[in-house]
Structure 1
Amino acid sequence: MSDNANITMVRRLYDSGMAPEVTAEIMAPDLVWDITPGFPNSGVYHGWDSVARDFFGPIMANYETFGAKAEQFFGDDEVHVFVLGHYHAETKTGNTADVRFIHLWTVRDGKLAHLTQAADSHVLQEALKG
């Protein structure tokens, strides 16, 4: 798979809002989802089911809305796609936050196999203080 095809696949994930039919098609069964320390529910998750249940499930309990807006995509070789963007969140208490992120995706056999995330966790933690 070429860099352009990898970027197209990653862009499709963000454009879909992580729609279930898209994640089912493009996530590797052994996906590794690595969230930076300090971010709510930070840690390393294995498999999309765990990501949905153990990462997004608890996070979404704190927010009215939470979404990732990808702004720039870069491919470095045959297997990596970098995404720069921001999260926009509105907490249950009405606070809002725009949090910059960088996502590094690793593609294996035409599937998204690994995410490494880094984000300004402090901004999001402050919004949660309510």
Structure 2
Amino acid sequence: MSESPNIALARRLYDSNADPAVTEQIMAPDIVWDITPGFPFGGVYHGYDSMMNDFFGSLLPHFESFGAQAEEYYATDDEHVFVSGHYHGVTKAGETADARFIHLWTIRDGKLAQLRQAADSHVLQQALNG
């Protein structure tokens, strides 16, 4: 059985390690980036530029490395994909964090148009706060 186009789209993001050249191609310019409250810099970000500058621009300077490793993909219908996995990060202070996540993606016109994230925020907050 072949993989659904929506799963292939989501897989492309995770397989690229969120490479900006790839994200710009596969994400809608008006993407809604909804990060669970309690997660570092959690909130709702509107638009690709806000996601990159306001969310990632605030989060990533606190880490030596940070990434999302997808483990399972589920297509629910023609416009939604669930991805479960974990974040792995190493803070600037050398603390390691591994936190589970679930991402719900909405696909519109062949692009990732919305992310709703739920994650083990406590683990990341502990790593950042020592």
Structure 1 residue runs of 4 or more that deviate by more than 6 Å after TM superposition: none
Alignment match, 1:82 = 82
Contiguous gaps of at least 5 residues in structure 1: none
3-state DSSP of counterpart to 2:4: helix
| More off after superposition, 75-84 vs 23-32 | 23-32
Alignment match, 2:98 = 98
Aligned letter for 2:70?
Answer: A
Q: Deviations along 1:32-78, whole A, 9 cap, x unmatched?
A: 00000000000000111111100001111111001000000000000
CA distance in 2 between counterparts of 1:84 and 1:128 reads 23
Q: TM-score, normalised by structure 2?
A: 0.96
Shift of residue 127, structure 1, vs aligned partner = 0.7
Alignment match, 1:25 = 25
3-state DSSP of counterpart to 1:93: coil
Shift of residue 99, structure 1, vs aligned partner = 0.3
Alignment match, 2:44 = 44
3-state DSSP of counterpart to 1:61: helix
Alignment match, 1:119 = 119
Aligned letter for 2:8?
Answer: T
Aligned letter for 1:21?
Answer: A
Q: TM-score, normalised by structure 1?
A: 0.96
Give the count of matched residue pairs: 128
Aligned letter for 1:99?
Answer: A
Alignment match, 1:73 = 73
CA distance in 2 between counterparts of 1:45 and 1:126 reads 24
CA distance in 1 between counterparts of 2:45 and 2:79 reads 20
Percent identity, please: 65
Shift of residue 84, structure 1, vs aligned partner = 0.2
CA distance in 1 between counterparts of 2:122 and 2:24 reads 32
Q: Deviations along 1:6-52, whole A, 9 cap, x unmatched?
A: 00010000000111221111111210000000000000001111111
